[in-house]
Amino acid sequence: MPVLGLGTWRMGENARRKPEELDALKYGLDLGYPLIDTAEMYGDGGAEEIVGDALAGRSTRPFIVSKVYPHNASRAGTIAACERSLKRMRLERIDLYLLHWRSGARIEETFEAFHKLKSAGKIGDFGVSNFDLDDMQDAAELDRGLNGTNQVLYCLSRRGPEFDLLPWMRKRSIPLMAYSPLDQGGLLRKASLKKLADDVGCTPAQLALAWLLAQPGVVTIPKSSSRERVKENFAALQVKLTPKVLADLDRAFPPPRTKQPLEML
């Protein structure tokens, strides 16, 4: 799975913004972004439709991640939801299909449906999202082959997963997919991040993304509807962080010392 992708959360919610959102996705693909993350929840399927439009006519396509709502995640419901997502994106296969969050879903039924979809070639692999350590342990008991990903809120200003969740996942070679890597823009207002970015010679957004990309076993999916920001984020791949810069970031944004509840946005 690629380590950097395009997020689509909150796309497809307003028809007037669709041209801008579609343009940003197309531009990102032209730049070479190798992954798009979406979900049936985003814009009630609207984001998946935009993804389909962005992919139309391309000879190659990126790695596609989508998600099923918990209230759709029964055996039959998961399969039906996947079929709807495939239709909206005009695809024959979703590369990685996730349970969006646990809620009231009976994950044994969800996993059974995931296996059926995988056997049928409708998905390449499956995983989860917004699962804390206890949820992941439950999931691993039900399916020891679970190693697709766990997508959670993780960034410099929200480092809770590092205490126990991320180490547990690394031991099992399960990638962590970090959503909201810029903390909904809140990180970009941090004076300490701006100063360190100036020292490195990059933007605050690039530094925050480069920090995530430097973490073993971590994938990140910044979302933007702006060509300028899509290009800026992509350049984070070229930012090299020295041990000193990493230590400075730890001082400015300390790692957790105790267990913290998993955060969701």
pLDDT tens digits along 190-226? 999 999 999 999 999 999 999 999 999 999 999 999 9
d(CA 188, CA 110) in angstroms, rounded, equals: 38
* Res. 144: pLDDT tops 80: no
Q: Which residue has the tokens 């959670």?
A: 152
**Tokens representing 126?**
């499956």
d(CA 115, CA 1) in angstroms, rounded, equals: 19
As a whole number, mean pLDDT of residues 163-192 equals: 96
SS3 117: helix
Residue type, 123: I
As a whole number, mean pLDDT of residues 142-150 equals: 85
The domains of the chain, with CATH numbers, are 6-252 (3.20.20.100)
Q: Which residue has the tokens 């490195």?
A: 200
pLDDT (0 to 100) of residue 57: 95
Among 171, 248, 244, 241, which Cα is nearest to 212's? 241
Question: Exactly one of 33, 42, 97, 154 is catalytic; which is it?
Answer: 42
| Residues across the chain | 265
Q: Which residues lie across from 99 on neighbouring strands?
A: 68, 128
* Res. 145: pLDDT tops 80: no
69 is catalytic: no
pLDDT (0 to 100) of residue 32: 97
Q: With a threshold of 0.85, does the pTM exceed it?
A: yes
As a whole number, mean pLDDT of residues 148-169 equals: 97
* Res. 169: pLDDT tops 80: yes
d(CA 242, CA 246) in angstroms, rounded, equals: 6
Q: How far is CA 50 from CA 8, 20, 95, 125, 215, in A?
A: 9, 11, 17, 23, 30
d(CA 166, CA 160) in angstroms, rounded, equals: 9
> pLDDT tens digits for 220-233?
999 999 999 999 99
> pLDDT tens digits for 244-255?
999 999 999 999
**Tokens representing 118?**
């995988």
Q: What is the DSSP letter of 254?
A: P
